[in-house]
Amino acid sequence: MKTILYYFTGTGNSLAVAKAISTRLPDTELAPIPKLMFAGEKITVPADVNIGIVYPLYGMGLPNIVAKFFTLLDLTHAGYVFSVVTEGGKSGSPTKQISALCEKSGHKLDASWWIQMPDNYIPLSDPPTKPVEKTIRENAVRKVSVIVEEIKERRHVLSGFSFAGTLMHVIYGPFIKRIHNFDKKFIVNPSCNGCLICAQVCPVNNIRGLPHGKKEWLHKCEGCLACLQFCPVQAISCGGKTAYRPRYHHANATIADMIEQKGGPESK
């Protein structure tokens, strides 16, 4: 039976997980959420098609773009609906939130899983060292195999609820409300060479090139940090100690992947 995996990624972790699921689960198609959001067309899932949503945890909840995506999605006729959240190792409880969004779109959430991936939120802390990153990724691969078997059996497992996570979820509201202005924190240092890779990788085309290699952010930021993490000369920082921290993106994530996720460099 066909499965469509809708995904959003800022630094490639969720894409890596989506790809790992798709290679193990027969007849699975990857569908990038930013590209579909640019298209803005309603999506009626055909009868009995299975749906998976793969996304990173933001402020203990869903990225704004993923939550908004549900307004396009009609899941009424879907077969089995599941979600996989990648997170950086802090507690959180997005299951309740995504469960409510699925119900509103016409189908209950049948299963949800979380997978720890390297933490990309460098405004708060350093990314993991290379050996730790390797261990996290190996564990993630093992967990994907287990998840895929459970998907094949159409298991009903809603993991991700925890008391601590539910309490911490109170930070989500204020955090996500201000997310579009997250870009006001970005500082560009003189090492910027004007390559505009930052604009290319931005999933929502929030960066506009200006004359003389300059650029501006348009305040429709998703906070994904792709601009900062993919910059080849570490010219972008976002306050505090960020300037001095190592950068992180998944080793297999390319600029081409990031462009593909939004449907090409020319998306509006």
Ligand X SMILES: Cc1cc2nc3c(=O)[nH]c(=O)nc-3n(C[C@H](O)[C@H](O)[C@H](O)COP(=O)(O)O)c2cc1C
- Which residues bind to ligand X, rule: CB under 6 A? 9-14, 56-60, 86-90, 92, 117-121, 223-225, 250
Closest to ligand X by CB, 35 or 155: 35
Closest to ligand X by CB, 105 or 120: 120
Using an 8 Å Cβ cutoff, are 234 and 131 in contact? no
Amino acid at 3: T
Closest to ligand X by CB, 79 or 88: 88
Dump the DSSP string for 110-157.
-EEEEEE-----TTTSPPPPHHHHHHHHHHHHHHHHHHHHHHHTT---
Closest to ligand X by CB, 24 or 90: 90
Shortest gap between Cβ of 211 and ligand X (angstroms)? 30
Shortest gap between Cβ of 10 and ligand X (angstroms)? 3
Closest to ligand X by CB, 22 or 86: 86
- 17 vs 159: CA distance, rounded Å: 17
Cβ contacts of 5 within 8 Å, gap of 6 or more: 18, 21, 22, 28, 29, 30, 31, 52, 53, 54
For residue 165, is it left (φ>0), alpha (ψ between -120 and 50) or beta?
alpha
* DSSP 8-state symbol, 72: T
Shortest gap between Cβ of 51 and ligand X (angstroms)? 18
Assign 230 to helix, strand or coil: helix
Shortest gap between Cβ of 208 and ligand X (angstroms)? 21
Shortest gap between Cβ of 154 and ligand X (angstroms)? 25
